[in-house]
Amino acid sequence: MKRREFITLLGGAAPWPLAARAQQAEQVQRVGVLMVQAEDDPDAKARLAGFRQGLESLGWLEGRNIRLDIRFAPGGAHVQVLAKELVALQPDVILAHTTPATLAVQQETRAIPIVFANIADPVGSGFVASLARPGGNITGLLLFEASITGKWLALLKEVAPHLARAALVVNPQTAPYYDYFLREAQAAAASLAIEVVFSPIGDTAADIERAIEAFASVPNGGLVLPPDANTTFHRDLLIALAARHRLPAVYSDRLFVVAGGLLCYSIDRIDQFRQAASYVDRILRGVKPADLPVQTPTKYETVVNLKTARTLGLTVPPGVLVAADEVIE
């Protein structure tokens, strides 16, 4: 080989590693998302917008270096079929919304990393070995610690002093972790002079109506609604039933109060989706889920609907109003 040709060959070879690195940097990563809400639900849209914002702030842009494959299972409908469909796409990581979605994806894969959001009891549900050391292919963000149930009851009693009975309303099929909250509710109830009644509901509107009507037949009752994909899906019906039977109710999600419910003590669910993006980011960059501790909530918000309080004939104490993060007139 002539000296000039050799030098040319060396010069031409230099850019190849740079080009390869540039191509690798722009490789499109695939992220599956399983939502237990309807696609046209404004709240689902807001949570996904928060997730996208979180990804973009970390340098992940749809159409350039990341692709989102999103599936919707309103109230948990067809969640197992959709989980199987997502896993078949072999994404690099899956974001699972709520316990039903996480369980469905877990049953389909123990290899693809899974990040959960809005999960109440990940240890009891068998998703992680512990919050500090998840130990498998799943990690994410804790929605509530069980002790929040005592806060729900105390807040409800403060707004409705006549309260003597409180129904814990969940669908055991979509909230199999209900005992996580029920035990704490029963432990806190005695000091508040409240009897806690477990009121399981079914999937249909008729099932829900029967359960609420049966509980409302005894006076001085109120409702406590822990997180549950089914009650979220039927939130308009539950709010209407609470109003019809004049039942003060405390909810675990702000969207109930915005829709006409009495009050909630909760976290910002949209912000949690924004935070979930950081877990997805770290996994896409090579961190294993087993090495990412489950994140616990640090900031809570109280929202009160004064119009609903007046309709129920309740006077919200000044202390509750001052402490509230949002008051809906």
- Give the right CATH number for 148-266+301-328 from 3.40.50.620, 1.10.1200.10, 3.40.50.2300, 1.10.287.3610: 3.40.50.2300
Q: What is the pLDDT of residues 248-281, one digit of tens each?
A: 999 999 999 999 999 999 999 999 999 999 999 9
Report the pLDDT value the prediction gives residue 85, as an integer from 0 to 100.
98
Global pTM reads 0.85
**Residue 152: band (very low, low, confident or very high) from pLDDT cuts 50, 70, 90:** very high
The reported pLDDT for the residue numbered 75 is: 87
**pLDDT reading at 23 higher than 60:** no
Q: Which of 15-19, 43-47, 199-203 has the lowest mean pLDDT?
A: 15-19
Residue limits of CATH 3.40.50.2300 in the chain: 28-143+269-291, 148-266+301-328
What is the fold, at CATH topology level, of the domain defined by 28-143+269-291?
Rossmann fold (3.40.50)
| All residues at 6 or more sequence positions from 163 whose CB lies less than 8 Å from its CB, including other chains | 156, 157, 194, 220, 221, 222, 248
Residues 325 and 302: their CA atoms lie apart, in Å, by 5
Confidence at residue 25, expressed as pLDDT on a 0 to 100 scale: 52
